[in-house]
Structure 1
Amino acid sequence: MDDQLHDIRARHIGLMRTTAATITRLLETVSQRDASTLRDGGDGWTILEVLGHLRDFDGFFRGRAEMICAQNYPTLPAYDHESLAIERAYNAGDLRAMLAEFNASREQTRGFFSDLVPEQWERAGVHPERGHFTLTDAAIQVGHHDVTHLEQIAKILALHSTAS
């Protein structure tokens, strides 16, 4: 079982790299204008709003994981993603700068999880939505979250390509 868990964790750390590379590749040819105007449906998010969310939540996910390592069964903070998009003016951001910030954050996140020793992986805290939440859960959450928003970016781009 330990070998299987080790493999699952390693695959999820690898997934963190793959999803970041896929997001980067999807956005390579997107213009600043398109990133700030094309939406996921009528009131949906723009690409900049999705990217700002991904960048910030990558840091939040890492911060929660660091809390789990540093504290004994901490209660992890909750974040209001809708308020953050407005407060941090995601849609006014620079696409290339935000993408670079996301990738830099992701390398830190990957490094954090890569450096964990076996005993640390079982440490846990209380997630605001999920309850008991281990570092294994935290690593899995990163890739799952990315895939959700990869689909959202792909939908935005597909809506645009069919509208052209």
Structure 2
Amino acid sequence: MTITPDTKNWTWVLERPCPECGFAAGAGSRDEVPALLRANAESWREYFAKNDPEQVRTRPDPEKWSPLEYACHVRDCNKIYSLRVGLMLEEDDPQYPNWDQDSTAVEDKYNEQDPDTVIAELIDTTEQIATRFASVSADQWKRTGHRGDGSDFTVESLARYFVHDPIHHLWDVTGKRHDS
């Protein structure tokens, strides 16, 4: 079963609430990002604790990732965005290396990974990026960086953009909107 790659530019989430998951990335304070990330990771842990490994490997339909695949993606996004934030804080105006999330899912065989290991890594990588965002000083929030597709970010806009991703993917798995 092959997933159609997501080619949408999701930067619009900085301007308006997501109609699917309900999260308003541009509405909250940047200081809320670490707590939002940690709460989201805990929700992933709770979801996996309540469901058996076969259930988390099951795709609801051929065009949608399984909960395990989404959890792997969230874990890997944590790593990628931690790297991007690091580049923005350590270099002037960096260009991020491209990342093909769909190729990574196939190459790393997301749905064959051990669910307990994935959740432990998701929790660990979430704590790393949450700590990184929590340590950003007032003047560092304005530092800039650029994605390969031409999207420009400050550390603040990247934090707000990024936090939508794990929240949205938890909605993909549970169907529970952030605003409910």
TM-score range, shorter chain: 0.7 to 0.9
What is the match of residue 135 of structure 1?
155
Determine which of 58, 68, 77 is the counterpart of 1:48: 68
Alignment of 1:74-113 (within 5 A): 74-113=94-133
Residues 13, 139 of structure 1: 8 Å contact kept: no
Shift of 1:64: 0.4
Larger Rg: 1
Structure 1 residues 130 and 149: alpha-carbon distance in aligned structure 2, compared to 1, 3 A threshold: farther
Residue 62, structure 1, aligned to residue 102, structure 2: no
User: For residues 13 and 58 of structure 1, what CA distance do their matches in structure 2 show?
Assistant: 12
Runs of 5+ unmatched residues, structure 2: 1-27, 176-180
Task: Give the TM-score taking structure 2 as reference length.
Answer: 0.77
Which of the two has greater helix per residue? 1
Residues 142, 154 of structure 2: 8 Å contact kept: yes
What is the match of residue 31 of structure 2?
10
User: For residues 129 and 138 of structure 1, what CA distance do their matches in structure 2 show?
Assistant: 14
Task: Give the TM-score taking structure 1 as reference length.
Answer: 0.85
Structure 1 residues 66 and 18: alpha-carbon distance in aligned structure 2, compared to 1, 3 A threshold: same
Shift of 1:62: 0.7
What is the match of residue 178 of structure 2?
none
Residues 50, 149 of structure 1: 8 Å contact kept: yes
How many pairs were matched up?
A: 149
What's the CA shift string for 1:93-141, capped at 9, x where partnerless?
0001100001000111011111111111110111234622011112112
RMSD over aligned CA atoms reads 1.7
- The sequence identity of aligned pairs, in percent, is 24
